[in-house]
Each structure stands twice: as C-alpha cells, then as structure tokens.
C-alpha cells in the first residue's frame, strides 16, 4: 500500500487563543483542535490525497477521487502492472456540462440570443441535471426547454416554433419538455405580450420605409384588443396577424390573409376568427381618424362570454318553439275534432227527419 499526499494549504501550527503548539489533526473529521484550550482551529480540511491499493489479482488501483469545481463526484484512476496512467480522468458530469454549454452556445447564436440568456439557460440546465430531468430525453429537447424558459422570463421575441424550425423537432415535444422543466424548477414565466412580435413580423411583410408606421398602428390595435379581452386564451401570433393585416390595409398595403398566415405561422381560419372577434367590438365601428385619436373607456365583453351568452339564448328559444309547435298541433286537432262532430251531427239530423 502506497500513499502520496499533496499539501495544498498551510495549516495552523500555533493556537490563536492560548498560543499552544500542541495541535491534534483528525483526518476522519477533517478538523484541527488545540489540546491545550480545546479550540477548533481548522474545520472541513480538504487535502488532496491519493491512495494506491493492491487488488487480489496483484494489480494496483488508484483510490483517490477528483472533485470538480461544479460539485460533482469523481472517478478513479488505475495502476495496472508496470503501466501508470498519469492524472485522473475527467468527471462524466463535467463532460456533460461542457457539452451542454457548447450546444447551448451554438443554438443561442443561431437564434441571435445574447450571452446573458445563454448563461442563464446553462444554469437552468445544471438544475435540470441535478433533478435528473435529462434522463430519457434528447439533449436538443432539453437545450430548447432551457433556452425557451429564458426567452419567456426575459421577454425576448422568440417563439417555440423558431426552435422547432431550427432543430426540426416536433413543437409539441418541445412544449412538453418546457412545461416539465418549468414545473420542476417552480418557475412561472409571465404571459407572452403580443406586442413583442409586432416589429419582427412587420419586417417580414416587406413594407419598405413604412414599417415603423404600420408597426405603431398594429401596436395600437393590439392594445385595443387587450383592453377588449380578446387576447385571453389566444395565441399571441393570432392577434399580431390580425392587427398587422388591418394596419397594412390602413396604410394602403394589399396584404392577403394567406401572406399574413405564412409570416405568423398560423392558419388562415385563426386569423379570420381574430378579425371576427375585433369586428364585434365598438372600436371597429370607428373611423380611421377616430380610432387613432380616441380611446374608448368602455371595455367590451370577452368573446367567450358573448359566445356562451349566444348559446344560452339559443337553448332558451328552442324549447319555446317546441311548446308553440305543440300548442298549434293541439289546437288544430281540436278544430278537426269539432269539424268531425259537426258533420256527424248534421248527418244524424238529416237521417232523423
């Protein structure tokens, strides 16, 4: 059995309290105690110690352990026969973190994220690794979940579809991993503000030097939709598409619903529904000048409330109609019976005379 000890720090040889030099070092507890006054001079002493132990086969193995700066465990080196592998192998956790850092940096650069977002996403990945959330999942999916959680927390104009397009992964798989990560880390990101995507979508519509004017009009439309409760339960991209379509038409740009749907990556039916929701509000009845200069104080009811109200009215009307139909039938039956009785009585009187 061989032992090699590397001294990494100079321990106290004189007691600071009584001045005694009789210091007892306990390697098992990792502390140094003065035997004169009982003061603990050193606590949690860490010494770089490597031990070689002979195995039953005659080979020697390295018992020392490497502790990384990330706090992970270590791996053992080996000494077999006359050959010696100098140094300790890297911790697998450290290798995993280095690879994750490289992947997050690459993906962040593709989506034009700043270094702060990439570092924050790396912190989320380390917490996910500690909670064993990475097991059974592809590394690219976990990287996306960490980066998208940062985008939601920081309010950057990035959608989950952007990650899906870059990585060519199903957006629903990315969404499930994101929800799992946010729930496990107890992070409740704020709701997405549709205004974040207006400038981004406006630049893709090729509006020339009127991009700013169209964007400002679209922002005003989105703000009005938010006051009328249209954005609750709706995708932000749908509101942006409807607002940009109306704003482009107001500034004499003939953009079709199909072109808007291609930019915001939603179906044409969704955009038409958002237009229909806005059409039912009092703001849609204003002229262009009135809309740009007047803010209505009254808030419109949410579309879901109006839809439920309309269905309730239909349910109330249908039984009334059925009852009315039944009354009409009963009245007709009574009239028919009266006619039959009159005819029978007339026939009887004729025969009797």
Is the Cβ–Cβ distance between 118 and 108 less than 8 Å?
yes
d(CA 306, CA 288): 26
- How many CB atoms within 10 Å of residue 309? 11
Q: For the chain of 353 residues, list the mean pLDDT of each consecutive stretch of 10.
A: 40 72 72 77 63 73 57 43 43 85 92 91 91 88 92 87 89 90 88 83 88 89 82 82 89 88 89 85 79 73 72 68 49 56 51 40
Q: In degrees, to the nearest 5, what angle opens at C-alpha 301 toward C-alphas 299 and 303?
A: 130
Strand 60-62 and strand 78-80: pairing? antiparallel
Q: Which two tokens stand for residue 12?
A: 């106290």
Res 344: pLDDT: 58
> Closest by alpha carbon to 286, among 232, 199, 220, 239?
220
Q: In degrees, to the nearest 5, what angle opens at C-alpha 124 toward C-alphas 120 and 130?
A: 145
Res 298: pLDDT: 73
Res 40: pLDDT: 75
Res 65: pLDDT: 54
- How many CB atoms within 10 Å of residue 193? 14
In SS3 terms, the chain reads as: CEEEEECCCCCCCCCCCCCCCCEEEECCCCEEEECCCCCEEECCCCCEEEEEEECCCCCEEECCCCCCCCCCCCCCCEEECCEECCCCCCCHHHHHHHHHHHHHHHHHHHCCCCHHHHHHHHHHHHHHHHCCCCCCCCHHHHHHHHHHHHHHHHCCCCCHHHHHHHHCCCHHHHHHHHHHHHHHCCCCCCCCCHHHHHHHHHHCCCCHHHHHHHHHHHHHHHHHHHHCCCCCCCCHHHHHHHHHHHHHHHCCCCCCHHHHHHHHCCCHHHHHHHHHHHHCCHHHHCCHHHHHHCCCCCCCCCHHHHHHHHHHHHHHHHHHHHHHHHHHHHHHHHHHHHHHHHHHHHHHHHHHC
pTM across the whole model:
0.55
Res 352: pLDDT: 37
The number of residues making up the chain comes to 353
Is the Cβ–Cβ distance between 251 and 221 less than 8 Å?
no
d(CA 85, CA 97): 24
Res 48: pLDDT: 56
Q: Provide CB contacts within 8 A for 216, sequence distance 6+.
A: none
Res 104: pLDDT: 93
Q: Which two tokens stand for residue 282?
A: 């009092």
Strand order in the sheet with 31-34: 23-26, 31-34, 40-42
């Amino acid at each position: 059995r061989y032992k090699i000890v590397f001294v990494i720090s100079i321990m106290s040889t004189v007691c600071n309290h009584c001045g005694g030099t009789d210091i007892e070092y306990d390697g098992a507890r990792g502390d140094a105690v003065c035997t004169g006054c009982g003061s603990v001079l050193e606590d949690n002493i860490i010494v770089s110690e490597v031990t070689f132990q002979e195995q039953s086969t005659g080979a020697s193995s390295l018992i020392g352990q490497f502790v990384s700066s990330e706090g992970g465990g270590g791996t053992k080196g080996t000494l077999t026969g006359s050959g010696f592998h100098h140094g300790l192998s890297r911790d697998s956790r450290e290798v995993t973190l280095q690879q994750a850092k490289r992947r997050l940096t690459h993906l962040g650069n593709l989506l034009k994220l700043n270094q702060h977002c990439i570092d924050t996403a790396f912190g989320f990945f380390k917490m996910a690794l500690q909670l064993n959330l990475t097991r059974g999942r592809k590394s690219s999916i976990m990287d996306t979940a960490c980066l998208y959680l940062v985008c939601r927390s920081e309010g950057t104009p990035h959608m989950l579809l952007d990650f899906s397009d870059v990585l060519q992964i199903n957006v629903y798989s990315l969404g499930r991993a994101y929800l799992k990560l946010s729930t496990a880390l107890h992070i409740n990101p704020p709701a997405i503000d549709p205004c974040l995507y207006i400038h981004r979508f406006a630049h893709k519509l090729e509006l020339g030097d009127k991009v700013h004017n169209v964007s400002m009009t679209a922002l005003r439309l989105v703000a009005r939709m938010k006051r009328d409760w249209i954005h609750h339960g709706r995708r932000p991209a749908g509101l942006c598409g409807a607002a940009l379509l109306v704003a482009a038409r107001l500034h004499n740009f003939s953009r079709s619903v199909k072109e808007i749907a291609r930019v915001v990556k939603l179906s044409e039916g969704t955009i038409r529904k958002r237009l229909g929701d806005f059409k039912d509000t009092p703001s849609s009845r204003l002229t262009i000048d009135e809309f740009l200069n007047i803010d209505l104080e009254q808030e419109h009811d949410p579309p879901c409330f109006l839809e439920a109200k309309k269905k309730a009215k239909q349910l109330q009307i249908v039984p009334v109609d059925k009852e009315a139909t039944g009354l009409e039938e009963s009245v007709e039956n009574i009239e028919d019976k009266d006619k039959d009785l009159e005819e029978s009585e007339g026939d009887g009187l004729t025969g009797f005379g």
